[in-house]
Structure 1
Amino acid sequence: MKQAILVVAFGSTVDSAREHNIDSVVEHIRKSYPDYTVELAFSSRIIVKRLRERGIEIPTEQGALEKLIQEGYTHVYVQPLHFTGGEEFDKLKNNILAHEGEGQLEVLRVGRPLVYYMGQEEHPDDYQILIDRFIKSLNISKDDGLLLLIRNGLTNVRIAVLENAPYVSDVAMPWEWLDGKRPKTIYVHPLLLVLGDHAQNDLFGDEEDSIVNELAGAGYEVKSIHSALEIVPVVFPMVLDDSTQEEGWQEAKRVILSYLDEAHICMYNRLIENTGHEIETIPGVTAFCAIGSHLGYPIVEKEEVLAIVPATAPKEKIDAVLAVADDAVIMKVYKNFDEVQETLIKHNMADDAVMISRVGLPDEQVFVGLDNIQKDTKLNYLSTILAKRKDR
């Protein structure tokens, strides 16, 4: 029986980041499983290509798996270095499992990200495990400061992602409502093994829609921590020894505590309740309803079909939804207005559409009719479109 562990990271072209933040993980797994062959692969084809041009050979996950199959391995366990599930993880998993039964393979398994299950049926609650073993040990009261952890999916940390839910606006902006208090300071820390240029720009860039500038524009004092995660044993889900994990959690506690002098942690209402905090939901008015009322624009009438879609969804999904909808609310249009405008024009919904940025605020902007707006128009993050089909 030949057994192998294939560790798959997205990858990095930065040598120091790759060696410190990825190779160190592989080496830890290699030491923890001396009876297994441990190999590394990158899922980013662009990074693999650029490294190859520099004479550095790191295979894709498919290339690495095919090599293991050719070498006669019977048991292969693939462990991604993803923190949460999502499109990238699903694509990776499908690529791997497509090789089931090939060669002499008897067992082919894909490990889950650090936090994946939420206690569904017989599955563990990875988020609760994270809280029980790490967050609770911080002993931070709910009256302390705030930490915002950002990744490329309790009492005082909120986690957001850059291009999926929960967005920063979903988890950061409502903080001022907790206990009727508004925090003065938000610490922004990447929840990433490798902090590349793309993430650096999205988080800390000079553009108006970077995370730090959005938070600063909302009135917070923002303190940026320009570093990827410090590697501690706690981040390795394949370490099963309780004493080793406990040492890792305690070391992680020491590292994170240095950032939490004034912090307040939060991650989903259900998990906050588990820490003994009382949760009160205050009914409010949704943004698009406020916009419709503010502009006197009927959102939906009679038997019309209303669609509510995020502009961050794939273009083909937005196209399919607008093909059957009479009315549409399109949110988060600040990044890809060009594609949204093109799709609205295609479905005869642009002429009478309205778009508003920062509704009700002093610098509110209103656009009526979206077919003639220049494609490179700079939009605020808080921009929403209301549209109606003209041919129905």
Structure 2
Amino acid sequence: MRAGVLLKKSMLVAMVALIGLWFQAADGQAGEHGKKKEVKPAILLVTFGTSIEQAKAAFANIDKRVKAAFPGIEVRWAYTSKIIRKKLAKQGEQIDSPEVALARLMDDGYTRVAVQSLHMIPGAEFHETHTNARLFGQMADGFDRVLVSMPLLINDASMEKALDIVYKQMVPKERKAGEAVVLMGHGTHHPSDAIYSALMYKARKMDPNYLVGTVEGNPSFEEVRDVLVAAKITKAYLIPFMTVAGDHAMNDMAGDEPDSWKSQLAAAGITSLPVMKGMAEVDAIVDMWIDQLKVTMAHLK
């Protein structure tokens, strides 16, 4: 009987001790939550990615210019392409997805993050990044704020500015009147594919022989080829209208296979001269992304 009473008393003491510890922990956590966090901003640059070594010069240029524009701010990278991330991992290079990169930033104590889309248009990948980044911003005791900055082409002004930069800075000086300039965009199933048709319209208003086509959308290569043939063009400069001059530029645009743009134009009697340079290798284009980022960073303060 006495043993039973002692056991009950021991259990009661243990319960009181546990409740006390729980309240102490709760008070400690409340203190942490109530404490004002130090503002610690970071920039996450998000792009499709590339595994082509020479194409990485474009990313190096962006990295350098972003760090110069935002001195002292942590700058990190993420690739949206799972295929490219896996390929690079096999080569010993680890690149995070946007979600993993955000998780690392959160774990490292960063409180406010500007996610800069380095995509050309606000397509499927941009919207996926935007949706997931917003969810990170809603996590309890996580970031104070996460904002996603817009891609390159978002309105008439940005389209016209990009076309003007390419026309003045990327087209070889030796181009003669009557020779064409063809930009190769990626294209997409997303409604934002319509931007490329708008670009074609605007480009041809600047110069009738300035055209825009896409690999996987509209305007198609066939539409571009038919315009060139109808205009009796015999020479065209091909420029990748993409962040980097990667796989699409090397193979779909300038490759020696029969289905490349260069080969198909040759079959139509048109000589092609590829310009193997990505948009992000042009400082004026990179500055367009940075201008978007400046707006976003101002809203992080």
TM-score of the aligned structures, taking structure 1 as reference length: 0.52
Q: Residues 184 and 17 of structure 1: is their aligned pair in 2 closer, same or farther, counting only changes over 3 Å?
A: closer
In structure 1, the residue matched to 2:148 is 110
Q: What is the distance in 2 between the residues matched to 1:173 and 1:73?
A: 53
Q: Larger radius of gyration, structure 1 or 2?
A: 2
- Give the alignment partner of residue 101 of structure 2, picking from 58, 64, 72: 64
DSSP 3-state at the match of 2:233:
coil
1:8 corresponds, among 23, 29, 46, to 46
The Cα shift of 1:4 comes to 1.0
Whether 1:158 and 2:211 are equivalent positions in the alignment is yes
Map 1:325-344 → 2, pairs under 5 A = none
Pairing 1:222–2:272 present: yes
The one-character-per-residue Cα deviations of 1:186-242 (angstroms, maximum 9, x if unpaired) are 11122233333454222233443321222223332222334445713212224449x
Q: Deviations over 1:110-147 (max 9, x none)?
A: 222211223xxxxxx31133356664799999954211
Q: Which has the larger helix fraction?
A: 2
CA–CA distance in 1 between the matches of 2:280 and 2:262? 21
Q: What SS does the corresponding residue of 2:250 show, helix, strand or coil?
A: helix
Q: 1:240 to 1:204 in 2, by over 3 A?
A: closer
- Matched residue pairs, number? 231
Q: Distance in 1 between matches of 2:162 and 2:54?
A: 28
The answer to whether the 8 A contact 2:52-2:247 is kept is no
- Name the CA distance, whole Å, in 2 between partners of 1:230 and 1:99: 28
- Once structures 1 and 2 are overlaid, which stretch shifts more, 229-238 or 35-44? 229-238
Q: Which amino acid aligns with 2:215?
A: L
Structure 1 letter corresponding to 2:153: V
1:188 to 238, 252, 262: 238
Cα displacement (A) at 1:34: 1.0
Give the 3-state SS of the residue equivalent to 1:147 in structure 2.
strand
Partner residue, 2:299: none
Which 4+ residue blocks in structure 1 deviate beyond 4 angstroms? 131-144
SS of the residue corresponding to residue 219 of structure 1 reads coil
Which of 124, 148, 170 is the equivalent residue of 2:182?
A: 148
Kindly tell me: are residues 166 and 57 of structure 1, through their superposed partners in 2, closer, same or farther at Cα, counting changes over 3 Å? same
**Other-structure match for 1:85:** 122
Distance 1:116 1:5, change over 3 A: same
Percentage identity across paired residues of the two chains: 27
**What do the CA deviations read for 1:250-272 (whole angstroms, capped 9, x no partner)?**
xxxxxxxxxxxxxxxxxxxxxxx
Distance 1:105 1:129, change over 3 A: same
Determine helix, strand or coil for the equivalent of 2:152.
coil
Paired residue type of 1:174: V
Q: Are residues 221 and 16 of structure 1, via their aligned partners in 2, closer, same or farther at CA, if it must alter by over 3 Å?
A: closer
CA contact (8 A) 1:194 1:228 kept: yes
Q: Which residue in the other structure is 2:203 paired with?
A: none
Q: Which digits, 9 at most, give the CA deviation of each residue in 1:34-54, with x for residues without a partner?
A: 142111111111222232233
- 1:82 Cα deviation (Å)? 1.3
Change (3 A) 1:214 1:87: farther
Which runs of 5 or more structure 2 residues have no equivalent in the other structure?
1-38, 187-195, 197-205, 293-301
Q: RMSD of aligned C-alpha atoms? A: 3.1
SS in 2 for 1:98: helix
SS in structure 1 opposite 2:136?
Answer: coil
Deviation readout 1:326-368 (Å, 9 max, x if unpaired): xxxxxxxxxxxxxxxxxxxxxxxxxxxxxxxxxxxxxxxxxxx
1:195-274 alignment to 2 at 5 Å? 195-229=245-279, 231-236=281-286, 237-240=288-291
Q: 1:50 and 1:221 mapped to 2: Cα distance?
A: 34
How far residue 100 of structure 1 moved from its aligned partner, in angstroms, is 2.6
Tell me whether 126-135 or 158-167 shows the greater mean CA deviation. Answer: 126-135
What secondary structure is seen at the aligned counterpart in 2 of 1:99? helix
Does residue 170 of structure 1 match 2:226?
Answer: no
Find the aligned partners of 1:126 and 1:111 in 2 and give their Cα distance: 14
CA contact (8 A) 1:4 1:36 kept: yes
SS state at 2:137 partner: coil
Give SS of 1:58's match: coil
Q: For the Cα contact (< 8 Å) 1:10–1:43, is it kept in 2?
A: yes
Higher relative contact order (CA 8 A, sep 6+): 2
With over 3 angstroms needed to count, the CA separation of the structure-2 counterparts of 1:16 and 1:225, relative to structure 1, is closer
* Whole-angstrom CA distance in 2 between matches of 1:54 and 1:132: 38
CA–CA distance in structure 2, aligned partners of residues 97 and 233 of structure 1: 30
1:327 corresponding residue in structure 2:
none
C-alpha distance in structure 1 between counterparts of 2:145 and 2:227, whole Å: 46
Question: Amino acid of the residue matched to residue 281 of structure 2?
Answer: I
- Mark the CA change 1:214 to 1:196 in structure 2 (over 3 Å): closer, same or farther: same
Q: C-alpha distance in 1, partners of 2:271/2:87?
A: 38
Question: Helix, strand or coil for the counterpart of 1:31?
Answer: helix
1:150–1:7: structure 2 CA closer, same or farther, 3 Å change rule?
A: same
CA distance in structure 2 between the aligned counterparts of 1:227 and 1:63, rounded to whole angstroms: 30
